[in-house]
């Protein structure tokens, strides 16, 4: 029978439940187990698709087009499995399903209540992932145990112990051990109170992951063990790490996977040689490149989490540490005057929605095109590159996207337009091209060389596309449409022959990047950025060489 691990959190949000669940998944998979993961979120939105990036961070898109929580990105990157829309459920989607069932008469006129109807729906979402080809389902519960919104989820996972059997369920609780400066001590009270709250809901944790700035002592582990009724070997310390990819090794050294497997009667030892080699590569990087991230949500880096990790993955492969320069798109024109973009080794123009910051992105795309600075445009990034080229090369000064000109009063030249002009766009959650789509790449193109093949599949999340009415004009003036949909109707990739790297994609390749298998376009960007840096200063020493010489 499929085993279930439930990861809860206490004291404060953003403690790292997602990374704990991801790391545990990596360790179990390295034991030869078939693992999948899930996030249950207590907010009432049906999905995060229409949520403000400043509040929620990025929306991660699955192969089947699910708009999901960013933690699913961590899950996929760590366990290297493609998840589905079933791997993320919210209070909103659960209540929506219950109310739809009530309207259909599925409950035969009974009074609909949180228990059993809502909790049964939550359990059904969990059980959807328990296929015969899955050994372990790891389910993270969003929020903290003190939140009122989380109560139906806690009740549901408490009932799971009866539904599938005690030997098939493990509860892992992530909590905080803060350091109090004036007393110079690490305190266990927050952990004690958090566990007490969890136990009041009928759940006794089987393992406790203690988050802390610095390692905690064995005495503190023993204290937490006694007061929380958890075996001391299942009290695990996750102190701050310099890289998130170190966390599985930290968890293993602390014995988390061993404690969980003993409880669930799972055999084997994890084979961690490949993962250790990855971490060693990360720790030994000596070269650096500086990449500008030109976006409109840069005040919250989590809005571009997968893009950042994809840049890191490409750097890992090439032994290059990526230093990010966060550039607010609205400030670009002023920064150009200051010369800030001049010293960058490359830039990324990531996705987004809405008109704010667009002119700054266009200005950045123009500057890097004219100055041979490597540039990768993603989704909206491709679109602003197209607009820039139309204005400054094709001589169409009012070229724009109909996204920013819905009434058609500003531009007579919508070089980017809605995929289906007849589509009803009032429902902002249901009008996009979502999930994986196939593209055909032009033989001999830069993108085909990077991918090593001419048929690729990448995930999408957008409403607007390159306007094919302008395609011939672009291509006769030097812009190459190097990838298209199989029917030839949609432009998927663009590039500029003769430029070191001026590449755009309508897709979001960052969603499929892995730490040991970087996305090809990001690999190409980092390689081009390294060449630019070395070309500007051919005698540039690595960090290690500088240290040795001095």
CA 203/CA 39 separation, integer angstroms: 19
- Adjacent-strand bridge partners of 326: 293
CA 76/CA 82 separation, integer angstroms: 6
Burial class (CB in 10 A: 0-12, 13-18, 19+), 325: middle
3-class secondary-structure state, position 199: helix
3-class secondary-structure state, position 208: strand
Number of alpha helices (DSSP H) and beta strands (DSSP E) in the chain: 19, 23
The CA–CA distances, whole Å, from 274 to 160, 280, 515 equal 35, 10, 11
Hey, what long-range contacts does 409-416 have (CB within 8 A, 24 or more apart)?
A: 413/470, 414/467, 415/386, 415/387, 415/390, 415/466, 415/467, 415/470, 416/383, 416/386, 416/387, 416/464, 416/465, 416/466, 416/467
Question: What six digits make up the tokens of 175?
Answer: 């909590």
CB 492 within 8 A of CB 506: yes
The question of whether 510 is a catalytic residue gets the answer yes
CB 35 within 8 A of CB 28: yes
> Which of these is catalytic: 67, 379, 388, 495?
379
3-class secondary-structure state, position 303: helix
Angle, vertex CA 204, rays to CA 142 and CA 168, nearest 5: 80
CA 45/CA 311 separation, integer angstroms: 30
Hey, CA dihedral for 62, 66, 68, 72, is it positive or negative?
negative
CA 211/CA 220 separation, integer angstroms: 13
- Adjacent-strand bridge partners of 170: 5
The question of whether 265 is a catalytic residue gets the answer no
> Which of these is catalytic: 140, 254, 495, 510?
510
Q: Which helix (H) or strand (E) holds 39?
A: strand 35-41
CA 210/CA 173 separation, integer angstroms: 9
The question of whether 283 is a catalytic residue gets the answer no
Closest CA to 231 of 258, 212, 252: 258
Q: Report how far Cα 508 is from the mean position of its chain's Cα atoms.
A: 11
Show Cβ contacts of residue 145 under 8 Å, excluding neighbours closer than 6 positions.
8, 9, 10, 154, 173, 194, 197, 198, 201
122: number of CA atoms within 13 Å, CB side? Answer: 27
> Which of these is catalytic: 117, 388, 508, 527?
508
Q: What are phi and psi for residue 438, nearest 5 degrees?
A: -85, 145
Q: Which residues are catalytic?
A: 379, 508, 510
């Amino acid at each position: 029978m499929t085993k279930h691990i439930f990861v809860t959190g206490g004291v404060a949000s953003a403690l790292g439940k997602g990374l704990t669940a991801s790391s545990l998944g990596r360790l179990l998979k390295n034991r030869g187990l078939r693992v999948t993961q899930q996030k249950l979120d207590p907010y009432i939105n049906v999905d995060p698709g229409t949520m403000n990036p400043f509040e929620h961070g990025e929306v991660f898109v699955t192969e089947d087009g699910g708009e999901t929580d960013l933690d699913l990105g961590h899950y996929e990157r760590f366990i290297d499995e493609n998840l589905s829309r079933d791997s993320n459920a919210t209070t909103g989607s659960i209540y929506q399903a219950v109310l739809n069932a009530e309207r259909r008469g599925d409950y035969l006129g009974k009074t609909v209540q949180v228990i059993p109807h809502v909790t049964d729906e939550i359990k059904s979402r969990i059980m959807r992932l328990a296929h015969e080809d899955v050994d372990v389902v790891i389910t993270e519960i969003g929020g903290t145990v003190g939140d009122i919104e989380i109560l139906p989820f806690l009740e549901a996972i408490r009932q799971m112990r009866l539904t599938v059997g005690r030997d098939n369920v493990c509860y892992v609780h992530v909590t905080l051990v803060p350091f109090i400066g004036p007393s110079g001590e690490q305190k266990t009270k927050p952990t004690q109170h958090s566990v007490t709250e969890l136990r009041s809901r009928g759940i006794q944790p089987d393992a406790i992951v203690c988050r802390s700035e610095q390692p905690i002592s064995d005495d503190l582990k023993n204290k937490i063990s006694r007061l929380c009724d958890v075996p001391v070997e299942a009290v695990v310390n996750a102190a701050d790490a310099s890289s998130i990819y170190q966390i599985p090794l930290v968890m293993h050294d602390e014995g988390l996977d061993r404690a969980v497997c003993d409880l669930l009667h799972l055999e084997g030892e994890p084979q961690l040689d490949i993962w250790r080699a990855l971490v060693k590569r990360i720790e030994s990087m000596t070269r650096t490149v500086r990449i500008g991230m030109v976006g409109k949500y840069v005040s919250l880096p989590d809005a571009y989490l997968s893009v950042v990790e994809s840049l890191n993955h490409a750097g890992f492969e090439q032994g290059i540490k990526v230093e990010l320069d966060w550039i607010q798109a609205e400030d670009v024109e002023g920064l150009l005057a200051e010369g800030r973009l001049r010293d960058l080794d490359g830039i990324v123009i990531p996705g987004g929605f809405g008109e704010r910051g667009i002119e700054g992105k266009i200005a950045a795309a123009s500057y890097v095109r004219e100055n041979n600075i490597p540039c990768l445009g993603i989704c909206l990034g491709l679109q602003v590159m197209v607009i820039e080229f139309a204005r400054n090369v094709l001589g169409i000064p009012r070229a724009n996207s109909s996204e920013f000109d819905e009434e058609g009063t500003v531009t007579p030249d919508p070089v980017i337009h809605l995929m289906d002009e007849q589509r009803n766009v009032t429902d902002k959650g249901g009008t996009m091209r979502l999930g994986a789509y196939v593209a055909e790449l032009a033989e001999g193109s830069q993108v085909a060389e990077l991918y090593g093949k001419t048929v690729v599949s990448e995930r999408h999340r957008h409403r607007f596309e390159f306007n094919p009415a302008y395609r011939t004009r672009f291509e006769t003036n030097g812009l190459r449409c190097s990838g298209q949909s199989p029917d030839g109707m949609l432009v998927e990739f663009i590039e500029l022959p003769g430029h070191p790297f001026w590449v755009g994609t309508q897709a979001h390749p960052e969603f499929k990047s892995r730490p040991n298998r970087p996305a090809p376009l990001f690999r190409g960007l980092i390689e081009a950025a390294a060449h630019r840096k070395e070309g500007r200063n051919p005698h540039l020493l690595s960090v290690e060489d500088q240290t040795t010489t001095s």
